[in-house]
Structure 1
Amino acid sequence: MTDLRIEGLAKAYGPGSAVLDGLDLTVPGGALAAVLGSSGCGKTTMLRIIAGFLRADAGTVTVGGRTLVAPGVHLAPERRRIGIVPQEGALFPHLSVARNVAFGITGLDRDERRRRTEEMLDLVGLTGYGDRMPHELSGGQQQRIALARALAPQPALVLLDEPFNALDSALRTGVRADVRAALRATGATAVLVTHDQQEAMSTADLVAVVRGGRVAQCGTPQEVYRRPADPWVAGFVGDAVLVAGTAENGTATTPLGPVPLAAGVTAPRAGTVLLRPEQLHLTDPASAGARGTVTDVCFYGHDAMVTVAVDGLDTPVDVRVAGPVPVRPGEQTGIRVTGEATLHG
């Protein structure tokens, strides 16, 4: 197992243009970590420094205890034992699939290289495709070959730079599952850079949310979703319902009614109460603690999002509804809250 440790990583492209500002991140050996952030937050810069394509201004990067980056240390990319899966596969167009996969394998004789190549093709579900050329493959097949090429030299770490962007949504889900299964089969430590929240939450063992060149929160997908570090993280990794409230004795008093808090708050304290839309339920307005008017309904098939202008709240709230939608815009409805909330501020 080879863990990745990043401490105090900094990088600027000019005066006053810091992209990374003391970023810290630890990925345990064998884990797949998704680095999630908006454009310009520094996630791709971090990936390029780990790979050795950029020099850091400060900080350290170690993989399995081996120092790749440190003050006065910049190990050459070819000596880092890092596999890279770029966007859109980036296969060598003049080489066959088998020769693409075998490209980075060194130190083995011809038969061993062939055996290793066949093992990698089998791992990504493309046995028998070795004689084909890259242009004869679909986009999803090219991404799986790119992963096989990255894994073939048995790297200490695999970096995936938004590798599913070019795929249509129907294909993306299947390829993501194949990539995750292949990484787990080899026990590889991997870092996936993405701006797609659903991709990060559904694929990774750990999710690191990057904001302003630093990791705002890192944890399991459930931890980041259910216990976000602050309202910004909450809104970035999913739909959030934010209401003002006053907490005391483990319960927050809000315009939506009393809401139990995940972390006990004993002393009186005001702040922002965070809920998820699936914690809100539509009820009979005559018996509900909170009432409002439906302003919009967005139907997605598997569920729907109902927007309600709640009495006493300046901002409408979203309610996620499973199954048939029982209301239409303009109708009155009640709202009931279930589960625990978190208090911020």
Structure 2
Amino acid sequence: MNDLHIEQLTKSYGPEAPVLQGLDLSVPGGSLAAVLGPSGCGKTTLLRIVAGFLRADAGTVTVGGRTLAGPGVHLAPERRRIGIVPQEGALFPHLSVARNVAFGLTGLDRGERRRRMEEMLDLVGLAGYGERMPHELSGGQQQRIALARALAPRPALVLLDEPFNALDSALRTGVRADVRAALRATGATALLVTHDQQEALSTADLVAVVRQGQIAQCDTPQDLYRRPADPWVAGFVGDAVLLQGTVGNSGSTATTPLGTVALAARPTDGHTGTVVLRPEQLRLTDADTAGAVRGTVTDVCFYGHDAKVTVSVQGLDATVDVRVAGPLSVGPGEETGIHVTGEATLHA
């Protein structure tokens, strides 16, 4: 399998501009990993080093046990067996779709090249489009052709550099699903660089969150969301409700301004800290419901499929957001009760 292993990767653009600071990342063969992080955290630098467009200052990059970069080693990009899907497709405008897809198929006779090209077009749902020119395609079709071109030479690794940015939101969802299905069909290992949290969580098998040139957490989307490594990760990957908490004697609960909350794991390094909840773990009830914490609604944002209700709670310096599905029963200025469900994580 074409496992990707990155160890202690370091890169600076000058003595006072460290970008990657000992970054470690492992992606099992056949998996799609999303690299997620704020602007300037080192995502694009990481991608360019793996592709071979930049030299690392230190560290190693291996794919399938083959060293691509390391001490005394820097394979040229064309020797790395890496396919790249850039932003906006970047198809050759003067070549037909068929010739774009077949561009990297060297060493094959004409019949084999054509069979592979047709196989890739069928895989991305564009069979019969071979004679069209890139300008005759929609943005989503161009991205699928770019993926077909990247997969055609059977690369060991596919790099996707924010490939859905130029698409509108409705089209983006469909193209993401098509890309994911095509990668799974070929068993390719892939690395997706994105700044879109929803895209990372909904598309990838693993999500690696980069903070200041290091991996803050790498986990499955569900574990990353439910068990964030620290409050910063929790706040970056989705909405988070952060509360000060004191651990009870049993170690399985914490007392917070929203009441007693069950903890997912026993704390090992203290009895106070920050309790992390998700807005959908909060439920609105009648203000007089037993066990509920009273609050006042300050704002409501309606999204159609659900709504975000902002509530001011006595004893909290900040408001809390509650995700509400279905019809809304409260409005700004009204009193409500809040009840916590599920388990929280606590960080000292």
Aligned counterpart for 1:289 among listed residues 280, 288, 292 = 292
Q: Alignment partner of 1:9: what SS?
A: strand
**Cα deviation digits, residues 171-220 of structure 1 (max 9, x gap):** 00000000000000000000000000000000000000000000000000
Change over 3 Å in CA distance of 1:266–1:102 after alignment to 2:
closer
Matched, 1:98 2:98: yes
1:126-163 Cα deviation digits (max 9, x unpaired): 00000000000000000000000000000000000000
Partner-residue secondary structure (3-state), 1:285: coil
Residue 231 of structure 2 aligns with which residue? 231
1:115 corresponds to: 115
Contact 2:86–2:161 (8 Å) recurs in 1? yes
The Cα of 1:267 is off from its aligned counterpart by 8.8
Alpha-carbon separation, structure 2, partners of 1:14 and 1:291: 54
Per-residue deviation, 1:14:
0.7
Residue of structure 1 equivalent to 2:199: 199
Cα distance, 1:289 vs. partner? Answer: 3.1
Q: Deviations over 1:260-287 (max 9, x none)?
A: 1000248970101000000000011112
SS at match of 1:341: strand
Between the aligned residues of both structures, percent identity stands at 82
Q: Which residue of 2 aligns with 1:178?
A: 178
Task: Tell me the CA shift for residue 106 of structure 1.
Answer: 1.5
The aligned counterpart of 1:341 is 344
Tell me what 1:82 maps to: 82
Contact 1:3 1:189 in 2 (8 A): yes
| In structure 1, distance between residues paired with 2:329 and 2:344 | 25
Separation in structure 2 between the aligned mates of residue 200 and residue 289 of structure 1, nearest angstrom: 35
Partner of 2:254: 252
**1:216 paired residue number:** 216
Which residue of the partner structure matches residue 274 of structure 2?
272
Amino acid at match of 2:120: M
Q: Report the counterpart of residue 316 of structure 1 in structure 2.
A: 319
Counterpart Cα distance in 2 of 1:326 and 1:244: 29
Give the Cα separation in 1 of the matches to 2:345 and 2:155. Answer: 41
Cα offsets for 1:275-312 (capped at 9, x unmatched): 00000000111124311100000000000000000011
In structure 1, distance between residues paired with 2:202 and 2:7: 27
Query: Is contact 1:31–1:190 with CA below 8 Å preserved after alignment?
Result: yes
Contact between 1:2 and 1:29, CA under 8 Å: does it hold in 2? yes
Match of 2:54 in 1: 54
Runs of at least 4 residues of structure 1 off by over 2 A? 264-268
| C-alpha distance in 1 between matches for 2:11 and 2:297 | 48
Distance in 2 between the 1:233 and 1:215 partners?
Answer: 11
Show structure 2 runs of 5+ residues with no match.
none
- DSSP 3-state at the match of 1:173: helix
CA contact (8 A) 1:143 1:163 kept: yes
Partners of 1:246 and 1:268 within 8 A in 2? no
Residue 307 of structure 1 corresponds to which residue in structure 2? 310
Residue 329 of structure 1 and its aligned partner are, at CA, apart by: 0.2
2: distance between equivalents of 1:265 and 1:4? Answer: 33
Q: 1:322 to 1:17 in 2, by over 3 A?
A: same
Match of 1:137 in 2: 137
Instruction: Give 1:88 shift.
Output: 0.1
- The one-letter code matched in structure 2 to 1:272 is T
The number of residues matched between the two structures is 345
Q: Does 1:147 align with 2:147?
A: yes
Q: Which AA in structure 1 matches 2:144?
A: R
Contact 2:285–2:292 (Cα < 8 Å) also in 1? no
Q: For 1:243, what is the secondary structure of its paired residue?
A: strand
Match of 1:89, SS state, is: coil
Question: Structure 2 length normalisation: TM-score?
Answer: 0.98
Gaps (5+ residues) in structure 1?
none
